[in-house]
Structure 1
Amino acid sequence: MYPTDRPRRLRTDGIRPLVSESSLSASDLVAPVFVDATADERVPIESMPGHERVPVDEAVARVEEVRETGVEAVILFGIPESKDARGTRAYADDGVVQRAIRRIADGTDAYVVGDVCLCEYTDHGHCGVVETGAEADPTLTVRNDETLELLAETAVSQADAGADMVAPSAMTDGQVGAIRAALDDAGHEDVALMSYAAKYESAFYGPFRDAADGAPAFGDRRHYQMDPANRREALREARIDAEEGADVLMVKPGLPYLDIVSDLRREFDRPIAAYNVSGEYAMLHAAAEKGWLDLEAVAHESLVSLKRAGADLIVTYFAEDLADRL
């Protein structure tokens, strides 16, 4: 008996593109850009080949380089000139990200997303105001409600500068509601909000912390970022953010959490984002440098898997590398 059902009929070159279930385009991608207030020239990021910290004066040129590849959206991260316990440079009108946003908004047509967190701006490296004595007791954690005020102030300052979207990433309870209310009160009803709804306490963030100079000086972030063992909790987190007014729900990291991306896609009727994080980028580069993998092929396959799982948009360090192929 020969088979009557032959799926291979739909794998020939002529029909394969017509029946492809998932597609990836440059317009699906958001490129991270690091702006450094301490730099006078571009500084390569050793753990993230092909990426650099750029001074504020280079921000427009860097974003135009991204746009030339066909990628239209960028998300900005800042390295400030100074740090303190409350991360005051995160919400300063003349902060590094605020200055960069003004220049980019005035000088380009890029869609600009501002990352809203304090870890890059605090001298202790945590994502908010820490409990007194935390240095001596790493089990002490971030003061949730006090941090909300600073996150809201940061978001408004970025919107004032011209950000099209803000993206709170601190995993502080109530951050979406606090930021949405503050934006609306400041007349920024049209500024979108993308929540890092399910952000896990992951080992895949190492290169980013090197790039943004944001590693914790003591303790870790397990008391406010999610446990990698938890799946149902992600739905709870996303539901809270959706009810508080998030326009887009993000999962971070991406590849180790494809099940979470898929869960959110099934449960929510709003766009789902995935962050293809620095560790995912770095490990593929390392394997390619060894000659073990074809970098462009595995990068493309990785991002297609995120789309297949249900992501509508992807923040990725591969954005520019893959745009021409797409």
Structure 2
Amino acid sequence: MDLTHRPRRLRRDGIRSLVSEVDLSASDLIAPVFVDATTDERRPIESMPGHERVPVDEAVTRVEEIRETGVEAVVVFGIPDAKDDQGTRAWADDGVVQRAVRAITAETDAYVITDVCLCEYTDHGHCGLLEDTAAEEPELTVRNDETLDLLGKIATSHAEAGAEMVAPSGMMDGMVGAIREALDADGFTDVPIMSYAAKYESAFYGPFRDAADGAPAFGDRRHYQMDPANAREAMREVALDVEQGADVLMVKPALPYLDVVSAIREEYDHPVAAYNVSGEYAMLHAAAEKGWLDLEAAAYESLLSIKRAGADLILTYFAEDVADRL
């Protein structure tokens, strides 16, 4: 037996860390923050253990808690005080995200990203204007081009409030170009766009819809979010976003789509982000509660795999816990 080649030589303590190929740090992570305009106290999110909706006047405190762990960036999601068929509270000057962002940017040193979408603000729960909001048929689709104007208004309202990056998540054709044009026209040429460039219609979003109160009232989102079967289509989506001026390219969800993360990393020199979504978070917690796995070890390994696949940034509900370990 020829044992000239012994990979185990490099697995011993002392050398193991020196030859580690991927490094995960707190500065790689983005922590979600849910700000709720309908409450004056923190509300636990039952399907996402350890996370809460916080009232607007506690947004700063919540972000300071995150910053204490070493995580530098947050993404703000809002639960508005009212909804309508156009989602008008999404771009209101006194909207929940706008108020929270003003306070967070004024009182903390966190890097503030905002979600740009309509699903939390429309009474039908879809990501844009519908063809017929009165009909409850599965073939209902979003009016793409009319929705683009609204996404531009939302993005500029967030930038005016102090958002340092905007992240459109609605998977509308042309959304990056429309938002870039709107930001530039209002003088926000330095505000980057992190596009949800490849966002799949996934079964892993359930807990988030509880957290953000954004589940569709009827139908589903298969006509604008991607088919989980398609990887080549993701590359076309990403190419369009790059052409329109996206600064960061996000894949959502992360773990079931590491092949897509890897392919984007190979093809583009843009920063690549991955969203380790609520279902990925919740299933590890559920297994840990059963005693089937070690939560801390599994969370760390999951995020390490996302980084290894090529993600530069990871948006994750594990951000605080893993940052503490790091």
* Alignment-mate amino acid for residue 155 of structure 1: A
Contact 2:138–2:218 at 8 Å: present in 1 too? Answer: yes
* Alignment-mate amino acid for residue 76 of structure 1: V
Cα distance in 2 between the residues matched to 1:110 and 1:276: 20
Structure 2 stretches lacking a partner, 5+ long: none
3-state SS in 2 of match to 1:293: coil
Residue in 1 aligned with 2:193?
A: 193
Cα distance in 2 between the residues matched to 1:54 and 1:192: 26
Residue in 2 aligned with 1:176?
A: 176
* Alignment-mate amino acid for residue 28 of structure 2: D
C-alpha distance after superposition, 1:216-245 (max 9, x if no partner): 001000000000000000000000001100
Residue in 2 aligned with 1:129?
A: 129
Residue in 2 aligned with 1:29?
A: 29
| Distance apart, 1:136 and its partner CA | 3.1
Cα distance in 1 between the residues matched to 2:229 and 2:303: 23
| Distance apart, 1:324 and its partner CA | 1.4
Contact 2:165–2:193 at 8 Å: present in 1 too? Answer: yes
C-alpha distance after superposition, 1:5-60 (max 9, x if no partner): 11111101111111101110000000000000001000000000000000000000
Cα distance in 1 between the residues matched to 2:70 and 2:5: 41
C-alpha distance after superposition, 1:64-107 (max 9, x if no partner): 00000000100000000000000000011110000000000000
| Distance apart, 1:140 and its partner CA | 1.8
| Distance apart, 1:3 and its partner CA | 1.2
1:209 aligns with 2:212: no
* Alignment-mate amino acid for residue 242 of structure 2: A
- Note the 1:73-92 alignment, pairs <5 A: 73-92=73-92
Residue in 2 aligned with 1:307?
A: 307
C-alpha distance after superposition, 1:110-133 (max 9, x if no partner): 000000000000000000001115
Deviating more after overlay: 146-155 vs 127-136: 127-136
Cα distance in 1 between the residues matched to 2:276 and 2:296: 15
3-state SS in 2 of match to 1:198: strand
Residue in 2 aligned with 1:66?
A: 66
3-state SS in 2 of match to 1:89: helix
Cα distance in 2 between the residues matched to 1:140 and 1:316: 31
- Note the 1:34-73 alignment, pairs <5 A: 34-73=34-73
3-state SS in 2 of match to 1:16: coil
Cα distance in 1 between the residues matched to 2:322 and 2:309: 19
Cα distance in 2 between the residues matched to 1:123 and 1:113: 24
| Distance apart, 1:137 and its partner CA | 2.1
Cα distance in 2 between the residues matched to 1:261 and 1:134: 38
- Note the 1:1-326 alignment, pairs <5 A: 1-132=1-132, 135-326=135-326
Contact 1:134–1:140 at 8 Å: present in 2 too? Answer: no
Q: Percent of counterpart pairs with the same letter?
A: 78
Number of residue-to-residue matches in the alignment: 326
* Alignment-mate amino acid for residue 82 of structure 2: S
TM-score (norm. length: structure 1): 0.99
Cα distance in 1 between the residues matched to 2:122 and 2:205: 18
* Alignment-mate amino acid for residue 112 of structure 1: V
Cα distance in 1 between the residues matched to 2:184 and 2:13: 51
| Distance apart, 1:134 and its partner CA | 6.1
3-state SS in 2 of match to 1:192: coil
Deviating more after overlay: 41-50 vs 132-141: 132-141
* Alignment-mate amino acid for residue 237 of structure 1: E
Contact 1:34–1:78 at 8 Å: present in 2 too? Answer: yes
Cα distance in 2 between the residues matched to 1:240 and 1:135: 32
TM-score (norm. length: structure 2): 0.99
| Distance apart, 1:150 and its partner CA | 0.4
